Amino acid sequence: MIDLYAAGTSNGMRARIALEECGLAYTLHPINIQKGEQKAPQFLAMNPNGQIPVIVDREGPGGKPVTLSQSSAILVYAGEKSGKHMPKNAADRPAFWQALMSASTDMTPTIGALFACNGAKEKHEPSVAMFKDRWKQYLKVWDDLLDTRKYAAGNEVTLADFSLYAGYYRLNGAMPELNAGVPNVERWAKEIGARPATVRALKF
Ligand SMILES: N[C@@H](CCC(=O)N[C@@H](CS)C(=O)NCC(=O)O)C(=O)O
């Protein structure tokens, strides 16, 4: 059994989608980041950075408990533990890793920066515009890619798709206009977003 500590942000959703899609049994412990629950001593003992998501797997490798933060690390951990949704074809792996890294190191931090700049008391419009443009650029590249293949890494759904979807879904809720005009992404998002395990994972 895995304990998942998360909130409904793109990083939190990424981790939860992975656990659901990989069919791993887990208990969700919702963390209210607005109230600062991620800075409580018992949380910091699991992740000294005081950030969600975190998992605790009481039956990690060798039967030993594992505590893990970083949404993409959790994603790959779930894939390796379950043997699901990692690319089967070796030739698909470079594209898999590239999409996975882009989702967590390009796209999600852009969402975080955008929300922070946009929601700041003293809003800095040039920064807001810069992060909006950056998001649209990532999405345009993603749309071009999905014109040539069905999924992030080829013709099979992988964890890279779930990782990208978490960010897309998060922004769709807050600033849907930034997700407009990308028909291939829309086609792909409609399919990923209809998967029962993904639907379950998004209900925070
Ligand atoms: N690189 C980390 C980022 C984690 C992160 O930024 N978590 C945010 C929510 S999406 C958080 O906990 N923010 C609250 C805080 O920093 O106090 C990951 O991929 O998990």
Q: How far is the CA of 91 from the centre of ligand 1 (A)?
A: 32
Helix, strand, or coil here: 153? coil
CA 121/CA 89 separation, integer angstroms: 49
Return the ligand 1 atom nearest residue 49 CA: 16
Residue nearest to atom 11 of ligand 1 (CA): 51
* 104 CB near ligand 1 (under 6 Å): yes
Report the pLDDT value the prediction gives residue 140, as an integer from 0 to 100: 97
Question: Which one-letter amino acid corresponds to residue 139?
Answer: L
Residue nearest to atom 13 of ligand 1 (CA): 51
Output helix, strand, coil percentages for the chain, rounded to the nearest 5: 60, 10, 30
Q: pLDDT tens digits, residue range 47-100?
A: 999 999 999 999 999 999 999 999 999 999 999 999 999 999 999 999 999 999
What 190-199 contacts at long range (C-beta under 8 Å, 24+ apart), as own/partner pairs, is 192/157, 192/161, 192/162, 192/165, 193/165, 193/169, 195/21, 195/157, 197/17, 197/20, 197/21, 197/23, 198/17, 198/20, 198/21, 198/162, 198/165
Phi and psi dihedrals of 198, rounded to 5?
-70, -40
Q: pLDDT tens digits, residue range 101-130?
A: 999 999 999 999 999 999 999 999 999 999
pTM: 0.96
Pocket test for ligand 1, best of 52, 75, 101, 111 (most atoms within 8 A of CB): 52
